A and B are shown apart, each in its own frame.
Chain A
């Protein structure tokens, strides 16, 4: 993997150049939170952000998009004219989330909607320093070794920039003169010191080993009833989770009744209607069953299917759930904590 240096004050110049390739998105402050916003004005970029409200999955699987337009019984796929996009500021945990989505959407039955957006979206990673809700070190997702096109590691006055793909290489070549190809021993030294320091910054540490066993042992636990009583079934945990992939499909018809579009929307297994079938039978009527399904999928079923849990330690569920049902509290209670 090629590594380069970029002086920090060149970052905006570089992002400006990337606009020749596609729309450039990055962390933007919105009230007291951050989002991945369109950097139509590069001064909006705010690299101090820790976690955005919605994860970068929104670029690969938008919250709502049209999969087909239809007229009578003829369905035309909506896969053309998707824009090229650069997403800057994606933290290592989220890159791991994207790698999980890649497995989910591309390995078994490739999904052209995901595949096409993925191909047209350049992922530009950015190093981060955790807060008290991050636990990416516990999930071993605090460094990303692949899954990005470029990755920027912040070292005071410069970034070390890893080139992770041929697209990343092409993007560097759009303005190669901004980069310094010579990495000194002192730069390496600085990077290693930063890594060691940053490892000490994780205040939230969870032992997530053998979670499938712990989930299994807790299958009949009264804990699920307790969590079900508390859960508001709002689905926010699914929306903010970088790896929640579930979706619903709805046909939107125009007033002429012959034309319309087939849309795909984010869905959540926390919703009461999620397992409802025509005729009124609901396979997961109770909230406790739905909370258990969410955590079973995330911490157990995914390991069986893909060899890896689907939690990347980003802390969004901790930040978002209004009643404190999140990976931190659930894991702690599953293991016999308070």
Chain B
């Protein structure tokens, strides 16, 4: 019989990290299952009794026994997930789709542009790059959140800043009293004189659709090449294998042809975001 691509395997929640009021990182024990992924691929998470939803892991792909997913409480599945305690079981299947082709980033400057919970897959990517940091000329992390309270991975972002060859910049749409940093949408961080070799640079973008759209527009204005802009296209992937049709985007099924697609691949699709 054919291997069942729809079979969820059990995983146990062993830790829950409160990132923001509505974003948590769930640490899952894979219970010895033969499961691995590459940065950029996504998995389907089952919350028993509610259903499935797609998420991109936020942990380092080389960590084998556990997997982390940073999730915003926004729909039916995630609302139920937020009710689950440590020790509860969920199901996962996958991984699905295409990874970030990090071998193509070698010797180049890499811009990681994230918005909101969209930093999740980018963290996985960054951790994968960190395994061989010397291979990349420079890594810029530029991240925007709605308010200071909505910033994920606060502690790690401040640690990453200290890594050699890594630069981290944050901005918020709306500041509060304690905020000393930049204010404005994430694209303002692209007005950076250090981004002076844009035609050769790699940009990797993930965030809400509106941010992906204006982020791409600004990157193109700044001289980034379409084939060097990697977009994590988050849609309502369901089956994960190019069948159910929900994640159709032009000629692509985002689940199997993406979720990582370059601007060059999708530029002719009317409003892909």
A248→B72 CA distance, assembly (Å) = 23
Count residues of chain A with CB under 8 A from any CB of chain B.
50
> Are B49 and A278 touching (Cβ within 8 A)?
no
Residue of B nearest to A276 (CB): B236
**Does A245 sit at the interface, judged by CB under 8 A?**
yes
Q: Which of B2, B75, B91, B256 has the most CB of A within 10 A?
A: B2
Q: Which residues of chain B come closer than 8 Å to A276, judged between CB atoms?
A: 236
> Are B7 and A75 touching (Cβ within 8 A)?
yes
- Give B residues with C-beta under 8 Å from A: 1-8, 10, 46, 48-53, 72, 74-78, 89-91, 208-209, 234-236, 238-239, 241-246, 248-249, 251, 256, 270
Of A110-118, A159-167, A197-205, the one with at least 4 CB within 8 A of chain B: A110-118
Q: Which of B209, B236, B239, B245 has the most CB of A within 10 A?
A: B245
**Does A74 sit at the interface, judged by CB under 8 A?**
yes
The A/B interface has a contact count, at CB < 8 Å, of: 123
- Give A residues with C-beta under 8 Å from B: 67-68, 70, 72-75, 77, 79, 104-105, 108-113, 115-116, 219-220, 245-251, 253, 257-258, 260, 262, 267, 269, 274-279, 281, 283, 289, 293, 297, 300-301, 304-305
Q: Identify B239's interface contact among A249, A269, A274, A281, CB under 8 A.
A: A249
| Least distance between A105 CB and chain B CB atoms (Å) | 7
A interface secondary structure, majority: mixed
> Are B270 and A73 touching (Cβ within 8 A)?
no
> Are A251 and B50 touching (Cβ within 8 A)?
yes
Given A108-B242, A249-B238, answer yes or no on A278-B53 (Cβ-Cβ < 8 Å): yes
> Are A275 and B1 touching (Cβ within 8 A)?
no
> Are B74 and A104 touching (Cβ within 8 A)?
no
Q: List 20 A-B contacts (CB under 8 A).
A: A72-B48, A73-B10, A73-B89, A73-B91, A77-B4, A77-B6, A109-B256, A111-B2, A112-B6, A251-B49, A251-B50, A262-B51, A274-B245, A277-B236, A283-B209, A283-B235, A283-B236, A289-B270, A297-B245, A304-B251
> Are A277 and B4 touching (Cβ within 8 A)?
no
> Are A249 and B235 touching (Cβ within 8 A)?
no
A12→B249 CA distance, assembly (Å) = 49
Nearest 10 pairs between A and B by C-beta? Answer: A278-B75, A246-B245, A109-B241, A73-B89, A112-B2, A110-B2, A279-B74, A251-B51, A277-B236, A278-B74
